[in-house]
Structure 1
Amino acid sequence: MRAAEHGYPVIPLTRGKLPAIRSPHRGHPEVPPCRGGCGRPGHGVHDASTDPLTVRRLFATAPWATGYGIACGRAPHHLIGLDLDTKNGADGVIALRFLAEEHGFPIPQTVVVRTPSGGCHLWLTGPPAPPVPNSAGRLAPGIDVRGAGGYLVGPGSLTTHGRYVLAPGCASHPAPAPAALLHLLAAPPPTAHRDPAPGAPPQPAAALVRFVRTAPDGQRNARLFWAACRAYESGLGRELTERLTEAACHTGLSEQEARATIASAAHR
């Protein structure tokens, strides 16, 4: 109710983070798909509302719900969620810092929700149009985007893996997404490969080296490992080994430490 009062449309969720109300059209799918026009609950994120009476009815229909979802892309906030994960060799937090450095935008102070898996959700606001699409790993490994038609698990929700909680000291209101980040979020996946100019290193390669070279204390190994993983994924691992090693040594790592980290990334 508090989320709805602050303008966030909500729906009840199960412990599995799925909409708690089953579709009224199960077994008899509508063509085109019904998005709530029938007036009955059970249309997932399309049921999300800020109206107190509607919210109470939704949760009364699903007393087994243990959490709530917040619809993204809806007025008044037009919420955008960045799901930063830290598993399967990816680190969404480091990936976002790399993108911010490569494209020159700040990571704003905003609402941060910690997830049971050790990751976090960053809440940002966007313009009414164009809508930001949902995506998984398109922006960078470890970053999933919740946009129009998607939802975020609200803080306080209990799931099978634990509870979602607000990060201590985070902002109380979501910050506007930087323009450069919005451009990346709205951009379609690349469809064509363009070779760099003769004699010039590919821009992603140069950005990876710069990302390692500017690593602050406490992030040197993590940045090097992440950059080396991305280099090997792009087929540039062997080509960039010496440049990444040199960049890591510039931050204070020994050559032995740097090469061990790069070898670990190559193995991964």
Structure 2
Amino acid sequence: MATSDRRSATLALAHALSAAERGLPVIPLSATKLPALRSPHRDDALPTPCHGECGRPGHGVHDATTDPAAVRALFAAAPWATGYGIACGRPPHHLIGIDLDVTPADAAMGTPADATAELRHLALQHLFTLPPTVTVLTPSGGRHLWLTGPPDVVVPNSAGRLAPGIDIRGAGGYLVGPGSVTARGAYRLAQGSANLDPAPCPRALLRLIAPPTPPRRPHHDPTGPRHGRGLVHFVLTAHEGQRNTRLFWAACRAYENGLGDSLTDALTTAAVHTGLTEREARATILSAARLSGTRCPAT
């Protein structure tokens, strides 16, 4: 390993341990920003629905931990790691990442999409103010805003759904931590961020990025067949911009109530009816199954 790589690996571990000490679960990342450890099930004949229950590292964000000894063990198993990821949606912070990019919105037209401006527009439109919070500058010129969410709200990951150039990192996702070095450069804290804690997500913004709560109905058996029909109807009535979040919410509720496997096909059909592709729908349901800690549905 080259001296510069060894130094980056040492610094990555130091930064990861510091983050873990603040209650942020971490995993080692390679220079590509992907989890540094490969899945121990990659050579299995059949897909294995394992989130780390096997006791071996290599399960991506499911390996994330705040235990210093476990962090050191993960980095020892991946000495090539030059960065670290911070798992979102996990206690105690229930971190939400607002990823703001500056990228071409339309390469043919050459029109730049400034995600920061898009977020300001949303704040004016929906009457919320972004509080001072931890801000990480990315090598590409973008920034990550760290916010915290309530423990009873599951915020899904999304890319460009909120507005062009704005990605959301929620449950099952991770943020590249400051101090990480990637193939494109280093991630660093913005000036004035070092002494800040992640601020609570404004309620109006939370309503935009979290799945909506369907209205309660009286005399409703949450585990009976009507509940399954209600979840399918909830997905069917989604408008553009709500389709993925509604499907994710419905699939989570289905798995929590033991209906996940039996509703997979119906939820997929409903999502395709609203405009998602079958592949997108089944990937979202798979994410919900993993988050709910159950066996994943067949894909």
Note if contact 2:41-2:48 (Cα within 8 Å) is conserved in structure 1.
Answer: no
Residue correspondence of structure 1 range 2-13 to structure 2 within 5 A: 2-13=18-29
Task: Tell me by how many angstroms 1:30 deviates.
Answer: 5.7
Aligned equivalents of 2:124, 2:49: Cα separation in 1: 42
Aligned equivalents of 1:95, 1:30: Cα separation in 2: 44
Task: Tell me by how many angstroms 1:74 deviates.
Answer: 0.2
Note if contact 2:25-2:64 (Cα within 8 Å) is conserved in structure 1.
Answer: yes
Which moved further from structure 2: 124-133 or 5-14? 124-133
Matched, 1:191 2:238: yes
Partner SS, residue 102 of structure 1: helix
Residue correspondence of structure 1 range 1-268 to structure 2 within 5 A: 1-28=17-44, 31=47, 33-88=49-104, 89-170=112-193, 172-187=196-211, 191-192=238-239
The change in CA–CA distance for 1:11 and 1:192 in structure 2 (over 3 A counts) is closer
What are the superposed Cα offsets for residues 208-259 of structure 1, whole Å, 9 maximum, x if unpaired?
A: xxxxxxxxxxxxxxxxxxxxxxxxxxxxxxxxxxxxxxxxxxxxxxxxxxxx
Q: TM-score, normalised by structure 2?
A: 0.62
Partner SS, residue 90 of structure 1: strand
Percent of aligned pairs sharing the same letter: 66
Match of residue 250 from structure 1: none
Computing the radius of gyration from Cα coordinates, the structure with the larger value is 1
Note if contact 2:136-2:188 (Cα within 8 Å) is conserved in structure 1.
Answer: yes
Task: Tell me by how many angstroms 1:155 deviates.
Answer: 0.1
Aligned equivalents of 1:78, 1:156: Cα separation in 2: 21
Note if contact 2:155-2:211 (Cα within 8 Å) is conserved in structure 1.
Answer: no
4+ residue segments displaced more than 4 Å: 29-32
* Structure 2 spans left out of the alignment, 5+ residues: 1-16, 105-111, 213-234, 241-299
Aligned equivalents of 2:211, 2:60: Cα separation in 1: 27
Q: TM-score, normalised by structure 1?
A: 0.69
Partner SS, residue 113 of structure 2: coil
Aligned equivalents of 2:128, 2:75: Cα separation in 1: 40
Partner SS, residue 74 of structure 1: coil
What are the superposed Cα offsets for residues 30-79 of structure 1, whole Å, 9 maximum, x if unpaired?
A: 65521100000000000000001100000000000000000000000000
Match of residue 253 from structure 1: none
